[in-house]
Structure formats: structure tokens, C-alpha cells
Amino acid sequence: MWSALGLVTAAAAVFALTVGPLPIGLDQLLSALGIRSDSSLRAYETAAIVDLRLPRVTLAILIGAALGSSGAAMQGLLRNPLADPGLIGVASGAALSAAAFMVIGVTAWIPERLALPLAAFAGGSAAAWLVVRLSLVDGRSRVATMLLAGLALNAIAGAGIGFLSYIADDLALRSVTYWMFGSLGKAGWAELAVAAPILALCIVLLPRAAVPLNALLLGEAEAGHLGIDVDALRRRLLTLIVVAVAVSVALAGIIGFVGLIVPHLLRLVTGPDHRLVIPGSALTGALLLLLADTASRALFVPAELPIGIFTALIGGPFFLALLLRYRNAPELS
């Protein structure tokens, strides 16, 4: 199954490299990548593939895999199929910080290319840290308190973004609005050099918590009796989830529902075993985001539709379907 999914993702990546305002044939693609020689290949075609599309496709795969596996880990940690990494305020905190940068600006000593990702990462990390701190009771974090704190922080961040949008000029307002819907348009090798090792590390480490998460399905007390340190597991997973989501949001803006849809689809196929769900969610998340980004570039050439619109169009109805399915479940009552 995983081999087939990997092959489909690889085929989608090749297709994505050929799609765009400048059509690229398979022969041209192979030549630009150095796999074969073609003297008719023009310099601007090579630049379009190597400098624009290849880093964008790579980033789509990494971010999709990070969001998918983070969502699977979050749902397992909270034992709730409706859980999403956005519940702990990472995305909203990053959005508020990024909006503040775009509207107010930043000091000159920060390179402009790095300023927005750094601002978003700092905001997302600070928001998640605050939510976790607020959820601590007698040194232990409570899931219900964490969710309520995340809900409150999301509301505050939404109000802050609304205020910043109100005072922004036309150019800043357009930038904030576009970034809020998510885009991979600014992907480049410089961003990948920083983000790829971090995202890859999170993608590799999250599946290592699969066995403890399987034990946690029995309940926290039962998992403790089986030798699982639930608090240590929660801290470790939350750290990985926060880092993965914060880096993803910092580079691509708000891309919703990937962490919600993908793990649930995998559970329908593989069952609740996190040894299958987490790595499967990484592959499926990469494929989903890759297809969404390709559609955003191909459907309205030469314009580009924000990628978050596609994921929201898919995720919104899916989330409502989940609510209807699980509304009478004991853990949601």
C-alpha cells in the first residue's frame, strides 16, 4: 500500500513540475534535472524548473507530510478524531505575528527574506507555549483546559488580525489576506535549506511515538499501568507538533484541514494502529498538498489561487460530516 502511495506521490510531483504558465514537456524536465541532455533547452526553462518549481514541489511534500503526521499524532494524543494541530493556537499565533510584521514592519537588521518566516515562527511558538502553560494544573497538563485555552487564544488572535487589517494600507491588506489563505509561491532554496532539516526531523520522529499512542487509546491510567509516561509523551509530541506546524505556517501561511482530513481517511483504511496511521498520514498529506498546489497554479493561469482555498473547500464539508458522525460519541458529549 505504502509503495503504491509513494509512487502516486512521485507521479504527482513530476506532473506538478510540468504544469504552470510555462508548459514544460517531460523531455525538457529530464534535461533540466540533468537526467538527459537536450541542447534545445532554453535557460529560462531551466530556471523555471530548477529555481521555481522544484523547491516549491519539495516544500509542498514536506509541509503536507508534516501537517498530516502532526494531525495524526494530535488526534492520537487527545484521543479525538476531530482534533487538529490548530487547536493549540500555533497557526493563529503565527498568523497574528506575521500580520503584525506585514502591517507594522520590522527593524532593518533582519533580512527581509527571512523576516516574515521568523515572525510567524516566533508567534506560533509563543502561542503554543502559552496554551500549554495555561493548561498546567499541579504540574500536569489537562487536555480540556488546553483546548479551551487554545480556543480563547484563537479568538484573541482573530481579533488582533482584524484590527491590523483595519489599520493596514491597501498593499499590506492584500498581503495579509493572501498569506492568510496560504501559498507556496515564495518557496525557494534558501527557505528549504532552513526548513527541510527541521520538517524532516519532525516527520521522522513522530512515528516513533506510535506504540505509546496505541497504549494511550486504552486511557491515560491504563497507559500508565503499561509503563507509558503520559506527561513525557505529551510534552514530546506537543513539541514536535508545534515545531512542525510553526515552520509550515511560517513558510506557507495558513493551510487548514490537512491535519484533520488526512489522518481520518487513513484510519478508515488502516484502522486505529498509529504504526500505520502516522507514516501513512505523512505520505497522504504530501500527496494532498501537492495536488492542491498544482491545482492552484493550473486552474487560473496566469493568476494563482491561494492553496488554502482548495483545502478549505475539501476540509469544510468533510469536517461537518465528521461532526455529524461523531456528535453522539461519548468523548464529544
In which element (H, E) is residue 140 found? Answer: strand 140-141
Question: Which CATH code for domain 2-332?
Answer: 1.10.3470.10
Q: Which residues contact 147 (CB under 8 A, 6 or more apart)?
A: 78, 87
| Angstrom distance (rounded) from CA 83 to CA 143 | 11
**Is the per-residue pLDDT at 330 higher than 60?**
no
pLDDT value at residue 38? 63
Cα dihedral 89, 102, 188, 16, rounded to 10, equals 70
Give the pLDDT band (50/70/90) at residue 317.
confident
**Is the per-residue pLDDT at 286 higher than 70?**
yes
Give residue limits of the domains in the chain.
2-332
Average pLDDT, the chain: 82
pLDDT for 9-18, tens place per residue? 888 888 888 8
User: CA geometry: angle at 157 spanning 249 and 292, to 5°?
Assistant: 30
Helices 189-205 and 112-134 meet at what angle, rounded to 10?
30
| Angstrom distance (rounded) from CA 132 to CA 91 | 15
Give the pLDDT band (50/70/90) at residue 260.
confident
Q: Which class for 44: exposed (0-12), middle (13-18), buried (19 or more C-beta within 10 A)?
A: exposed
Cα dihedral 305, 308, 310, 315, rounded to 10, equals -170
pLDDT for 124-149, tens place per residue? 888 888 888 887 777 666 777 777 88
pLDDT for 3-51, tens place per residue? 888 888 888 888 888 887 777 777 777 777 777 666 566 777 777 788 8
Point out the least confidently predicted range of 241-245, 265-269, 273-277: 265-269
